[in-house]
């Protein structure tokens, strides 16, 4: 039991260390952005529009319209780590990297929030995300017998993803209200809605009609850039 707990703790440390590294990168980018005058804040219409587009893309992922892919994921997935504490730590790092296709919507949402927060809040958010990912290992490290009670993978996971996708859509509705207050005109709203429509069409058709999907993405990019000017 002590050996299992030891292995799981180092696996958890690998996960949390990776999220701390990500939080550090975000803080550095945020500091650099402040220097060059990006001005990311909830009073910026461009930032709100960017958040709406990002959350919309993440919600489409949760609804199963497309999947995020980890670059080099197949090679990383075949890596073998040693049966020791260092190997457990590296296993936690690899698990964090390889889980990004599933966690991207939540990490992306956290990233957009991070640019509006203080450094300690960024660390707190990513620490809690890491704890969430590692929680089953922490729990089974303390109580190994709980392994038999953990839910098995199944269709319930897809249902949960769709429910979480609905929460992102509701967030988008709220952001639209904020955006409308900031721009005070229908022209910007129409452009933003049209951009979201072409993003949806792009993801919907990219596998069957690649050229139509690509054209839709190009139109959405053009509308988004025009919106920011």
pLDDT confidence of residue 41 = 57
pLDDT averaged per 10 residues, the chain (length 229): 85 91 83 54 77 89 78 51 74 78 71 74 87 88 80 84 88 87 82 93 88 92 86
Q: How far is 90 from 86, CA to CA, in rounded Å?
A: 6
CA-closest candidate to residue 228, choices 196, 184, 183, 170: 183
pLDDT confidence of residue 193 = 93
- HSE, CB side, 13 Å, CA atoms: give it for residue 25: 8
CA-closest candidate to residue 180, choices 172, 171, 168, 189: 189
Q: How far is 36 from 123, CA to CA, in rounded Å?
A: 23
User: 110-134, pLDDT tens digit by residue?
Assistant: 776 766 778 888 888 889 888 988 8
pLDDT confidence of residue 50 = 86
Neighbours of 163 (CB within 10 A): 10
Q: How far is 139 from 144, CA to CA, in rounded Å?
A: 8
pLDDT confidence of residue 78 = 53
pLDDT confidence of residue 36 = 43
pLDDT confidence of residue 167 = 87
Taking each continuous run of H as one helix and of E as one strand, the counts in the chain are: 9, 0
């Amino acid at each position: 039991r002590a050996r299992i707990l030891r292995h799981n703790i180092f696996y958890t440390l690998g996960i949390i260390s990776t999220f701390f590294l990500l939080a550090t990168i975000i803080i550095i980018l945020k500091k650099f952005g402040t220097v060059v005058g990006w001005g990311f804040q909830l009073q910026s219409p461009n930032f709100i529009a960017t958040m709406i587009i990002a959350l919309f893309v993440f919600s489409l992922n949760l609804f199963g319209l497309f999947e995020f892919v980890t670059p080099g994921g197949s090679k990383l997935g075949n890596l073998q780590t040693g049966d020791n504490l260092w190997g457990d730590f590296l296993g936690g790092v690899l698990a964090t990297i390889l889980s990004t296709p599933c966690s991207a919507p939540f990490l992306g949402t956290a990233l957009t929030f991070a640019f509006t927060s203080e450094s300690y809040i960024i660390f707190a958010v990513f620490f809690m995300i890491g704890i969430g990912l590692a929680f089953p290992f922490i729990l089974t490290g303390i109580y190994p017998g709980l392994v038999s009670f953990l839910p098995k993978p199944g269709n319930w996971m897809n249902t949960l993803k769709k429910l979480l996708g609905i929460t992102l859509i509701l967030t988008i509705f709220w952001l639209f209200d904020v955006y409308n207050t900031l721009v005070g005109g229908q022209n910007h709203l129409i452009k933003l809605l049209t951009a979201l429509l072409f993003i949806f069409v792009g993801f919907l058709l990219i596998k069957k009609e690649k050229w139509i999907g690509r054209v839709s993405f190009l139109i959405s990019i053009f509308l988004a850039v025009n919106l920011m000017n």
